[in-house]
Amino acid sequence: MPTHIESDIVITGISGRLPESSNIEEFKENLMKGMDMVTEDERRWSLGIYGMPSRYGKIKDLGSFDASFFKVHPKQARVMDPQLRIMLEVTYEALIDAGVNPSTLKGSRTGVFIGVSSSDANNFWKRDANGLYIYRENFRPIK
């Protein structure tokens, strides 16, 4: 196994959604203030459902997404896995954070590598396949 790889890869931008924090800067501020970002409320699930602990970290504004900005049809946006919506937003934000104009990347040899471990939305959709828009099939996570 090689111990040294010569490469032109550079990671220069960052973005993210973290508990009670819309971005990395807000997360840092919350940490510095000593804010408890693990909360007990019913924003995501009813307390105690599925044996979940009563306190856990939750992302703010999970339902907000500017579909028109990303050129996603509103019907598509309604059934997209929230992880995909967030991924589009944070990828764009990380590029901006790096000082890159995203429009300059068209036609370039640029890669974005992302991993997802599970999809609560996909499990939910499996329960009501008849109520889905056909667009859902375009936005399934890679497994």
**Does 5 reside within a domain?**
no
Please list the pLDDT of the chain residue by residue as tens digits (143 residues): 667 777 776 668 899 999 999 999 999 999 999 999 999 888 877 887 878 788 888 888 877 899 999 999 998 888 888 888 999 999 999 999 999 999 999 999 887 777 666 666 666 666 665 555 554 455 455 44
Task: List the alpha helices (DSSP H) in the chain.
Answer: 24-32, 74-79, 82-97, 120-127
- Strand, helix or coil for residue 18: strand
What is the tens place of the pLDDT at every residue in 76-101? 888 888 888 999 999 999 999 999 99
**Does 67 reside within a domain?**
yes
**Does 46 reside within a domain?**
no
Cα within 13 Å of Cα(75), Cβ side: 8
- Strand, helix or coil for residue 23: coil
Residue 93 is part of which domain span?
A: 59-135
- Which residues have a Cβ under 8 Å from the Cβ of 12 and sit 6 or more positions away? 97, 98, 99, 100
Check residue 72 and give its pLDDT: 94
Check residue 29 and give its pLDDT: 98
Q: How far apart are CA 121 and CA 137, in angstroms?
A: 13
Apex 81 CA angle, 80 and 82, nearest 5: 105
**Burial (CB count <10 Å: 0-12, 13-18, 19+), residue 7:** exposed
**Does 6 reside within a domain?**
no
**Does 75 reside within a domain?**
yes
Q: What is the mean pLDDT of the chain?
A: 81
Check residue 73 and give its pLDDT: 93
**Does 19 reside within a domain?**
no
**Does 13 reside within a domain?**
no
**Does 105 reside within a domain?**
yes
Count of structural domains, the chain: 1
56 φ, ψ (degrees, to nearest 5): -160, 165
